[in-house]
């Protein structure tokens, strides 16, 4: 049955709805990403350890990436394109272990010591490390706006750190250092992934990287915990599923859907919702409160990174 011819008004209506859908998808993805630390904190309150929680998160995510990876390989075969070399696959697996296992692991460890809101603000600064390490390790130019953004954002983090250190002492320093290592390692992952993406493609690279992270996390768990430790309570299984699907797989697809409908700079600005959403969710579900100093510090972080991200995305148009 042939499709009816579209009237002149149909494309206009459709196009008008695309940006709205893009903003909705982008905001939903940012909020779901923001929920990760909240769910982890709720799981810690139930007595689970970081190694077990990370293993469960990645084990529940693994089937999705296996299926997506199979479709990506099938697509290469259908188009008559060669599969990536073993060297490229091995490099992708190694970079994936850095970005999705190590970065996640030290982030999980850090959340034992600092608030969910502080954790999200530290992670939010990783684009600045991308610029700095790009200059130090890959000879990329450093733009002045990046240095200004770095100064503004980290002055805000310093305010929050000082406030928390006076109350929690060394725990604050330990947690901030671990989450800072997560931001640094994810920035290095971003830099090393760019070259590999040209050889392997986005979908297949993501799947190889995530599958590698899953294997490493499960291997780590097998070395440090008995296998029966994975048999957690039904409530803990639910929390692990929420992290795996609601805060990992689903927001990835939502953010990709947003990028198909709205500009990169619009999507970048929507991402600034993430730390704000974390603070709101932490207040609602964890009872976390923020002092005036912490709110001012959070404003400096979000403002500095938001300005840098928007300016950088406009430059790349």
Specify whether the CB–CB gap between 73 and 89 falls below 8 A: no
pLDDT digits (tens, 9 = 90+) for 21-46: 878 888 888 889 889 999 999 999 99
What is residue 287's three-state secondary structure? coil
- Per-residue pLDDT band for 117 (boundaries 50, 70, 90) equals very high
Residue 163: predicted pLDDT: 87
pLDDT digits (tens, 9 = 90+) for 182-239: 999 999 998 898 888 888 888 898 899 999 999 999 999 999 999 899 999 999 999 9
Task: Provide mean pLDDT across the span 275-298.
Answer: 91
Closest CA to 108 of 56, 150, 153, 159: 56
Task: Provide mean pLDDT across the span 87-114.
Answer: 95
Domain boundaries along the sequence of the chain: 20-315
Residue 6: predicted pLDDT: 43
pTM for the whole thing? 0.85
Closest CA to 268 of 306, 299, 238: 306
Q: Quick check: 257 pLDDT over 70?
A: yes
Helices marked H in the chain: 9-45, 50-78, 86-96, 103-110, 116-123, 126-138, 144-168, 170-200, 202-224, 234-241, 250-259, 264-270, 273-281, 292-315
Task: Say how far apart CA 249 and CA 259 lie, in whole Å.
Answer: 16
């Amino acid at each position: 049955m042939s499709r009816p011819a579209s009237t002149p008004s149909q494309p206009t209506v459709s196009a008008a709805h695309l940006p709205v859908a893009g903003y909705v998808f982008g905001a939903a993805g940012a909020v779901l990403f923001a929920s990760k630390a909240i769910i982890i904190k709720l799981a810690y309150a139930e007595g689970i350890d970081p190694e077990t929680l990370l293993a469960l998160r990645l084990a529940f995510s693994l089937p999705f990436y296996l299926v997506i990876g199979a479709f990506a390989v099938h697509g290469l075969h259908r188009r008559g394109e060669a599969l990536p070399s073993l060297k490229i696959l091995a490099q992708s697996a190694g970079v994936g272990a850095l970005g999705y296992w190590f970065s996640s692991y030290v982030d999980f460890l850090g959340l034992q010591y600092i608030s969910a809101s502080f954790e999200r603000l530290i992670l939010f600064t990783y684009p600045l490390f991308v610029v700095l390490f790009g200059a130090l390790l890959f000879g990329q130019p450093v733009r002045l706006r990046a240095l200004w953004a770095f100064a503004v954002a980290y002055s805000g983090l310093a305010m929050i750190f000082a406030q928390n250190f006076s109350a929690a002492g060394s725990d604050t320093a330990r947690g901030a250092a671990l989450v800072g290592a997560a931001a640094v390692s994810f920035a290095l992952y971003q830099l090393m992934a760019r070259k590999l993406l040209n050889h392997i493609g986005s979908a297949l690279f993501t799947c190889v990287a995530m599958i590698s992270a899953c294997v490493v996390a499960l291997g780590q768990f097998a070395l440090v915990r008995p296998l029966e430790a994975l048999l957690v309570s039904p409530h803990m299984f639910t929390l692990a599923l929420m992290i795996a699907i609601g805060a990992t797989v689903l927001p990835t697809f939502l953010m990709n859907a947003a990028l198909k409908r709205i500009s990169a700079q619009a999507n970048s600005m929507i991402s600034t919702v993430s730390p704000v959403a974390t603070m709101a969710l932490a207040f609602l579900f964890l009872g976390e409160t923020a002092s005036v100093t912490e709110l001012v510090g959070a404003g400096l972080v979000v403002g500095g990174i938001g300005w840098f991200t928007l300016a950088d995305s406009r430059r790349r148009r």
